[in-house]
């Protein structure tokens, strides 16, 4: 209730509700008289027309009072007190309007105190209930608008966060690749030169595809293959690469550098620490509406050591949480392998 209320011209829904609401109320009254007396008197017909026109006029005026005096931004208790007060004033005004109209048509009027109080009280109750109904509708509409604005804001924030996370991966990728080449410069300059050529190919694919929000698994595997060829130069026979990829998964869309990051992690924290080297196994398949991606490597995963995780893995976890709230990510030791498993619901992967 802290927001200022802007006075706007009534929308079509307001007029439609007014005509239907008051029309239905009077229709039921007329039907009631027809059932009771088997006839519709001239006075009832004129009264119905006056009440219909007056009710729309008075409640439209009430709406302007509510908005111009910013009653909807006051505390609940003050708002209700204002509604009660204005309902009383308008009930008296409506009674005077109706009596004047009936006198113009020369109808006999009962001016007894009980009759006047009964009419005014009846009008008061109706107008107060109308004010409650209007304010309820107003708050529901504002709540929906606020919810929509919040969802839009969350969407913008999510896109911004994803872009920041995605842009962190390219420097992370280059850092790992350059470290690999640096290790080769003194050991074998010729292979280091070849590695730089290979790196340029990797970066070209990474820069082109890495700027997309989603890419196919087939395109992601091209980046992975280029990267593994680069690492193969450094590790030679110490690195064994195995791939088991179902053809039906090649066109599924995933965030760029998703598999690549786990492959980098497998080599950095697994293969590079083993004097004899080891295997990197990539397995991708789909079943039961789930995309299953596994990247395994020889070694041992110690979840308690911070060195076992890095920018890339932390980045991927955040991205997966943002894009696929229902995903499952698990890194565990199975036999002599460290197995990173990602399960993504295919129905959420509709990009």
pLDDT attached to residue 334: 92
Measure the CA–CA gap between 77 and 84, rounded to whole angstroms. Answer: 11
Measure the CA–CA gap between 233 and 196, rounded to whole angstroms. Answer: 11
HSE at residue 203, side-chain half, CA atoms within 13 A, is 14
Q: Which of the residue ranges 132-141, 147-156, 161-170 would you say has the lowest mean pLDDT? A: 161-170
Q: What is the dihedral of CA 55, 58, 59, 62, to 10 degrees?
A: -170
Q: For 246-275, how does the pLDDT look when each residue is reduced to its tens digit (9 = 90+)?
A: 999 999 999 888 898 899 889 888 898 898
What's the pLDDT band for 339 if we cut at 50, 70, 90? very high
- Three-state DSSP state, 70: coil
Of residues 152 and 100, more confidence is placed in 100
Of residues 330 and 44, more confidence is placed in 330
Angle formed by the axes of helices 113-187 and 42-68, to 10°? 40
User: Mean pLDDT: which of 38-47, 60-69, 274-283, 339-348 is highest?
Assistant: 274-283
Q: Mean pLDDT over residues 35-43, rounded?
A: 71
Contact 258, 173 (CB under 8 A): no
Residue 123 token pair: 């009008």
Contact 254, 220 (CB under 8 A): yes
Could you tell me which residues come within 8 angstroms of residue 233 by beta carbon, excluding any fewer than 6 positions away? 184, 191, 194, 195, 198
pLDDT attached to residue 147: 74
Q: How far is CA 253 from CA 217, 257, 312, in A?
A: 6, 12, 20
Q: Is 94 exposed, middle or buried (0-12, 13-18, 19+ CB in 10 A)?
A: buried
According to DSSP, the residues that pair with 253 across neighbouring strands are: 216
pLDDT at residue 152 tops 70: no
Contact 173, 223 (CB under 8 A): no
User: Mean pLDDT: which of 40-49, 185-194, 325-334 is highest?
Assistant: 325-334
Going along the chain from its start, the domains and CATH numbers come out as 12-146 (no CATH), 188-348 (3.30.565.10)
Q: Mean pLDDT over residues 127-139, rounded?
A: 86
pLDDT at residue 328 tops 70: yes
Q: What is the helix (H) or strand (E) element at residue 250, kind and residue range?
A: none
Of residues 29 and 52, more confidence is placed in 52
| Secondary structure letter of residue 245 according to DSSP | E
pLDDT attached to residue 176: 64
pLDDT at residue 291 tops 90: yes
pLDDT attached to residue 67: 83
Quote the mean pLDDT of the chain. Answer: 80
Q: What is the helix (H) or strand (E) element at residue 84, kind and residue range?
A: helix 76-104
Residue 3: φ, ψ to 5°: -90, 145
According to DSSP, the residues that pair with 298 across neighbouring strands are: 337
pLDDT at residue 226 tops 80: yes
Measure the CA–CA gap between 250 and 216, rounded to whole angstroms. Answer: 6
Angle formed by the axes of helices 76-104 and 42-68, to 10°? 150
pLDDT at residue 175 tops 80: no
pTM over 0.75: no
What's the pLDDT band for 280 if we cut at 50, 70, 90? very high
pLDDT attached to residue 3: 44
Q: How far is CA 194 from CA 223, 225, 240, 258, in A?
A: 17, 16, 20, 26
Please provide the DSSP assignment of 273-342 as one string.
G-TT-EEEEEEEEEETTEEEEEEEEES---TT-GGG--HHHHHHHHHHHHH-TT-EEEEEEETTEEEEEE
User: Mean pLDDT: which of 50-59, 118-127, 181-190, 291-300 is highest?
Assistant: 291-300
Residue 248 token pair: 């039906």
Q: How far is CA 139 from CA 23, 143, 242, 331, in A?
A: 25, 6, 60, 48
pLDDT attached to residue 191: 79
């Amino acid at each position: 209730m802290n927001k200022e209320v802007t006075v706007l011209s009534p929308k079509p829904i307001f007029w439609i509700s007014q005509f239907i609401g008051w029309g239905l109320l009077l229709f039921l009254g007329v039907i009631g008289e027809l059932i009771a007396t088997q006839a519709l008197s001239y006075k009832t017909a004129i009264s119905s027309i006056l009440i219909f026109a007056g009710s729309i006029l008075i409640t439209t005026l009430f709406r302007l009072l509510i908005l111009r005096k910013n009653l909807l931004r006051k505390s609940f208790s003050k708002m209700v007190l204002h509604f009660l007060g204005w309902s009383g004033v308008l009930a008296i005004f409506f009674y005077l309007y109706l009596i004047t109209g009936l006198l113009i048509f020369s109808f006999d009027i009962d001016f007894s105190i009980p009759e006047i109080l009964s009419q005014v009280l009846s009008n008061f109750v109706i107008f107060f209930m109308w004010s409650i109904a209007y304010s309820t509708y107003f708050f529901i509409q504002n709540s929906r608008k606020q919810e929509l604005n919040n969802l839009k804001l969350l969407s913008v924030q999510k896109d911004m966060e994803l872009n920041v996370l995605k842009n962190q991966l390219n420097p992370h990728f280059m850092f790992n690749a350059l470290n690999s080449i640096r290790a080769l410069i003194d050991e074998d300059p010729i292979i280091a030169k070849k590695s730089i050529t290979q790196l340029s190919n990797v970066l070209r694919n990474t820069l082109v595809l890495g700027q997309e929000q989603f890419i196919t698994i087939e395109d992601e595997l091209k980046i992975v293959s280029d990267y593994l060829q680069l690492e193969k130069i450094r590790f030679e026979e110490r690195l064994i690469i195995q791939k088991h990829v179902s053809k039906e998964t090649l066109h599924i869309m995933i965030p760029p550098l998703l598999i690549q990051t786990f492959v980098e992690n497998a080599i950095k924290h697994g293969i590079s620490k083993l004097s004899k080297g080891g295997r990197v196994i990539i397995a991708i398949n789909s079943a039961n509406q789930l995309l299953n991606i596994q990247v395994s490597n020889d070694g041992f995963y110690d979840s308690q050591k911070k060195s076992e995780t890095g920018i890339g893995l932390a980045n991927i976890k955040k991205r997966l949480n943002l894009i696929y709230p229902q995903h499952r990510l698990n890194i565990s030791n199975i036999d002599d392998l460290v197995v990173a498993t990602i399960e993504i619901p295919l129905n959420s992967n509709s990009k």
